[in-house]
A and B are shown apart, each in its own frame.
Chain A
Amino acid sequence: MRSKNPLRFIYATPYAAWLLLFVLAPIAVIVYYSFFDLSGHLTLANYRNFFTSIYFKLTISSFWYAFLITFFALLISYPTAYFLTKTRHKQLWLLLIIIPSWINLLLKTYAFIGLMGVYGPINALLEAVGIGSQQILFTDFSFVFVSVYIFIPFMILPIFNSLDKINPTLLDASKDLGANAWVTFKRVIWPMTTDGVKSGIQVVFIPALSLFMITRLIAGNKVITLGTAIEQQFLVTQNWGMGSTIAVFLIIFMFLIMVLTSGKKGGIIK
């Protein structure tokens, strides 16, 4: 195809350079390293090791926790986003939800250590209402809870945007044509927001697969994700080959999720 604008080539240069330097080149380096063993010999052993050793089990448990985190984040975010679109000052309310995500992740995590501690306010509350003090920190519950809290803004934003874009006359039309609230939601609202839900799932599920600081600080390493394994291979064991291999699988999984959740675009509002 002939370019209509000769300048188009120049416009594309920064993007192409970015893609090459910061996306393709690093992936190529990771793939390259994954074929080497500790003594620098070319080998496929890392890949065999991935399927035979604990890493496969680790992958499954990572997926399970990422699924739980995404599920609960969605469960909370969808109604919240819906509610937000109905409020009077929706941009202000949205901002209030987004602001916490500007605070450093590590700081928020440390705050939760205090909140969830044996003598923290949550346990004080439980004590006051007569349930009694519980071990909250260092459980898989606390891990999922904190992760969901951290990811919620990222889930709400795309859903809010797609809900906000819905033309209200469509809802009126649905009502006029005799649909009750549930049918309107199922047949009109939901289909028009699936794109938002899908991108929400992408931005939550993929990072959730490789969360690692929270696994130590909040879950006390009782939950281990692929991120933890990669960190350990690079920093402790210094087996860059194996670390790269796990990273390659993580990239493949992410790619698969992208493909699964992107699907066909289009529909009524396009």
Chain B
Amino acid sequence: MKGLMSSAFVILLVSGILLFANYQLEHKAGRAGKDTITVYNWGEYIDPDLLKQFEEKEGIKVIYETFDSNEGMMGKIEQGGTAYDVTVPSEYAVQMMKEKNLLLPLDFSKIPNVQHIDPYFMNLPFDPNNQYSIPYFWGTVGIAYNASLLEGQTFESWESLWDASLRQKLILVDSAREVIGISLNSLGYSLNSTSLQELKEATDKLETMGPNVKAVIGDEVTQLMINNEASVALTWSGQAADMISENDDINYIVPNEGSNLWFDNIVIPKTSTNVEGAYKFINFMLDPEVAAQNAEYVGYSTPNKAALSFMDDEITGDERFYPDEEARKNLEVYENLGLETLGVYNELFLKFKMGLR
């Protein structure tokens, strides 16, 4: 009994000390204070060195948190609780957040660097006149493949993913719209299809791809491809860029039938308590040299036209990641289809995954 009491006392004492230390640390960091901003971004989506540069330049401390899905991020913003000052939703999520009144309109006079953004990427249908958002990165959905593990397939068409030679080789991304999108694209339908008939046709076709599917996973795919553990993967362009930079045998292609063109965009959510700081941060990130450094680090394509001249020609001249306007014609931007249709997509996708062996 005595032993029990003393160990209980020790545990309490240690917890107390840790609590105090934590309080001191947070106090020093000035959490939620006037000179901090909280940035909520995708994982591995910024050069951490830039955060330091920003802190030194503006004297504003950055608290950096990450998320791995638009939906998860929106959930946290909607619940409130943490005062996020800047976040980075994808285009359809910008639309959803707009409808739910989760965004603050942007004052462009406080973001002079917005002039560097390529006009091609401004004023897009999901946010007319960029009232709430500024593009941060953009990219495509395509196929990453390791030629050394294959027998000469080149994936110019989505159809080639159905080829019997890929049995148990294909890795898909765990996301309904991208996977059903393969089928919709190969059938010539829109990626924003809401027709139940077309979706049924697409998932029926997708089911015949089942024997080729090795796994349906998330970001783990990058490591599997780099380690030669997998040979073909449906993936986003930036993820493919990560793979290519580590493993020379990997290539990336967007099939001819077309694919998805996506944008992640900087916004100021309604939870912001330091709007001025948020503007300073956005303006800093749009600075051409900063944007160039960030794009080289992250690997996705930057919409910042002025930044391109600060970047390696090898990167900006790469048609796989910076397709010209002609090549972009076949690409389609996701629209917000509404929760009802999103539910249909996900239920069909769940059914597809359940059918996998």
A residues sitting closer than 8 Å to B (CB atoms) are: 38, 53-54, 57-58, 61, 113, 117-119, 135, 137-138, 216-217, 219-222, 224, 229, 232, 234-239, 242
Interface 9-mer from B7-15, B215-223, B270-278: B215-223
Measured CB to CB, the nearest residue on chain A to B342 is A237
Interface centre among A118, A138, A242 (most CB of B within 10 A): A138
Tell yes or no: B340 within 8 A of A by CB: yes
Contact, CB under 8 Å: A235 / B346: no
Contacts of A119 in B (CB 8 A): 227-229
CA distance A137 to B227 in the complex (A): 14
10 further contact pairs, Cβ within 8 A, besides A38-B343, A220-B171:
A58-B350, A58-B354, A216-B217, A217-B220, A220-B216, A221-B217, A221-B356, A224-B350, A224-B354, A237-B346
Interface centre among A135, A221, A224 (most CB of B within 10 A): A221
Contact, CB under 8 Å: A54 / B69: no
Contact, CB under 8 Å: A53 / B347: yes
CA distance A224 to B72 in the complex (A): 20
| B176 touches which of A53, A57, A216, A236 (Cβ 8 Å) | A236
| B354 touches which of A54, A216, A217, A242 (Cβ 8 Å) | A54
CA distance A58 to B355 in the complex (A): 11
Contacts of A54 in B (CB 8 A): 347, 350-351, 354
Contacts of B228 in A (CB 8 A): 118-119
| A-B contact list, 8 entries, CB within 8 Å | A54-B354, A220-B171, A220-B216, A221-B356, A224-B353, A235-B75, A238-B342, A239-B339
Tell yes or no: B118 within 8 A of A by CB: no
| A38 touches which of B72, B220, B224, B340 (Cβ 8 Å) | B340
Contacts of A222 in B (CB 8 A): 215-216, 353, 356-357
Contact, CB under 8 Å: B356 / A135: no
Contact, CB under 8 Å: B71 / A236: yes
Question: Distance in Å from the Cβ of B180 to the closest Cβ of chain A?
Answer: 13
Measured CB to CB, the nearest residue on chain B to A53 is B347
Question: Distance in Å from the Cβ of A190 to the closest Cβ of chain B?
Answer: 34
Question: Distance in Å from the Cβ of A215 to the closest Cβ of chain B?
Answer: 9
CA distance A186 to B307 in the complex (A): 78
Contact, CB under 8 Å: B353 / A221: yes
